[in-house]
Amino acid sequence: MDPKTPIEVLPGVGNLYSKKLKKLEISKIEDLIYHFPFRYDDFSQIENIAKANPNEKITIQGTIWQIKNIRTPRGKFLTTAIIADQSGTIEVIWFNQPYLTKTLKAGTPVSLSGKLDPKSPRPKLIAPSYEILRAQVAQFSSQTLHTGRLVPIYPETEGITSKWLRAKIASILPFYVKTVTDFMPLEIIAKENLENLGAALTKIHFPKTYQDVELARKRLGFDELFLTQLAAAIRKRQWLSQKIAPQIKISRAELQNFQNNLPFTLTGAQIKALVEIIADLERKTPANRLLEGDVGSGKTVVAAAAAYATYKNGLETILAAPTEILAFQHQKTLRDIFSPYGITVGIWTGSKKQKGDITCGTHALLSTFQAKKQVGLVIVDEQHRFGVAQRAKLFMEQKSNLSPHVLTMTATPIPRTLALTLYGDLDLSVLYEMPEGRQKIATYLVPNIKRQGAYGFIEKQVEMGRQAFILTPFVEPSETLTSVKAAKDEFEKLKSKLSKKVKLGLLHGRLKSKEKEQIITKFKNNKINVLVTTPVVEVGIDVPNATVMLIESAERFGLAQLHQLRGRVGRGKHQSYCFLFTDSKAENSIKRLKSMEKVYIGFELAEIDLKMRGPGEVFGLKQSGFFNFKIADITDQKSVASAQTEAKKLLKADPKLKNHELLQQKLESISSEYSQPN
């Protein structure tokens, strides 16, 4: 069976179901096999009807004595049945499934799994899973498929149920595991005590015990970690072996002079990161380092020091930002830092083009910008917001045979284990402490009944000369007309909710660059008191006078993103506040948001979110060109370290993977799922 066979070829799928399956990212046979259960219903306990316990999930197996449809006075259907085994009988009820009487007939042997109605005086099964017992059942188990076992529950979409997925996977899995060849080297399987691939795939879908599930997860999770680490190690090797960078050197005295001219003292973490970056720049191989730090931890000044060293060596620096707002903010910050040296800081965006010794810009840097001199350093802010091809173009060789050093910055607080997994080919520097004087922002999860009170609080802050953000969420992963409409609706609503004395402004990503700039300037000059905005403010707007951040539908954001949004206030001397509103009643969601009231360190919040929601949800990995982890526990430091060690060891012994053809083919087959620039 060819793993790449289009899913619509599978019997019973066709065009209709294939369109629905694409919503689950299933387009070929292999995608279906790798669509893993996220939990299991334990229906393995098969009971005699007479001994059935109302408080347990159970399976009963017997014969249908009687089955019929009943129409309720409100027009709904109940399907009732009497099932008998050797010990007694039990009543079964299904809701709004009148077609069952065509499938389940009197005299039919059936298996039923579910919970008994605890309120019923006689044993009664409510809406159980069912299947007809036949002489020949699933090939991987002597048990049934949908009942009487650990039953896999899958991520679903409209029109695609777990039962449907179970049946389809069961029909192809035996053939798939017979034809698939294990790509993992035997010595690694033995050393890590892993299942072979076929056994792991069988056990993840149709386990006999929970121990089977653990064995399967261990092997399949290791596969994901190992492949990402191997790919990262290959990229790093290629980066170091194929490119030559200008050696950028700066004396300690010059670097100390730069620090002395700053209006503040660098933290220990900033100095450590700067030492690491300067050491990178002195080498002939191009640096490829990630500078990770919380909101306000001082990443830009560290990057500025690297740009200063580059300037002193007669080379240019370009700084690429994902939005114009952020590009202009970086230009202003760098101008302030470099004012004592007469260094010009240019801007290169869709709306404004001016070259400098250091040039800040957006995607326009990729298309129309031509440096006057050799570019020695490329700084990329929030690189995951650039497309893979765009990132690669930023790092292209210049007119000479020299390639620039690369420094990537991110304010997304990624736990170290996750950073090593996602950015295995990058060296990592972390700003783990905040500069002195940064205040804690008082944060509250506010019930909707206190909404008017929150508006009153904002009015009082405005009366005191302060300002506020009111933020509406993206409805889609990017700025869309729908999310713009949500911001506009909020803007109109607030006109009647807030005092007429409050000057309101509206900012969203669909405005023209000039309009955005005008609104931001008005807000900075306090001609707008309250700015209604979408998350375009997440980065780039620095208004020390803003003291309130009110976030609507806070449950739609990750904790790391909420923390970044919260960091837009508290930048001045006044006490600042963050109010979180949510319509969600989900206990997990409330618990998650409540952590914002107590935790003020971005890395800790990221860890909490990682455990509660998983990496794909927290960091939007699917949109970021990263491998889509489906089963690996990337918070498991031991597993990540093992995968990294084995990947490096294998690559050292076989740099071209000549002796591991199957592994090389596997890497090539998944290369489209994730990518980083070489």
Under the banding of pLDDT at 50, 70 and 90, the label for residue 412 is confident
According to the model, what pLDDT value does residue 677 have? 36
What residues pair up with 78 in beta bridges, in sequence order? Answer: 70, 95
- pLDDT tens digits along 633-662: 777 778 888 998 999 999 999 999 999 999
- pLDDT tens digits along 276-304: 999 999 999 888 898 988 777 889 999 99
pLDDT at 310 exceeding the cut of 60: yes
According to the model, what pLDDT value does residue 484 have? 59
CATH superfamily to which 40-153 belongs: Nucleic acid-binding proteins (2.40.50.140)
Average pLDDT over residues 488-515: 84
Distance of alpha carbon 113 from alpha carbon 46, whole angstroms: 9
Distance of alpha carbon 224 from alpha carbon 215, whole angstroms: 15
According to the model, what pLDDT value does residue 139 have? 39
Under the banding of pLDDT at 50, 70 and 90, the label for residue 34 is very high
Q: Smallest Cα–Cα separation from 275: which of 291, 286, 294, 262?
A: 291
Q: Which CATH architecture has domain 442-599?
A: 3-Layer(aba) Sandwich (3.40)
Tokens of 276: 């690491």
Under the banding of pLDDT at 50, 70 and 90, the label for residue 475 is very low
Average pLDDT over residues 165-172: 93
According to the model, what pLDDT value does residue 477 have? 40
Helix axes 268-281, 299-312, angle to 10 degrees: 30
pLDDT at 191 exceeding the cut of 60: yes
- pLDDT tens digits along 342-392: 999 999 998 889 999 999 998 888 778 888 888 999 999 876 555 444 455
Under the banding of pLDDT at 50, 70 and 90, the label for residue 400 is low
Ranges of CATH 3.40.50.300 domains, the chain: 183-435+636-678, 442-599
According to the model, what pLDDT value does residue 148 have? 84
According to the model, what pLDDT value does residue 319 have? 94
pLDDT at 243 exceeding the cut of 60: yes
DSSP summary character for residue 479? -
- pLDDT tens digits along 51-71: 887 777 888 899 999 999 998
Above pLDDT 70, what percent of the chain?
Answer: 88
Q: Is the pTM of this model over 0.95?
A: no
Average pLDDT over residues 324-341: 90
Q: Supply the mean pLDDT for the chain.
A: 84
Residue 314: CB atoms within 10 Å: 12
Rounded to 5 degrees, φ, ψ at 289 are -120, 145
Ranges of CATH 2.40.50.140 domains, the chain: 40-153
CATH of domain 183-435+636-678: 3.40.50.300
pLDDT at 177 exceeding the cut of 70: yes
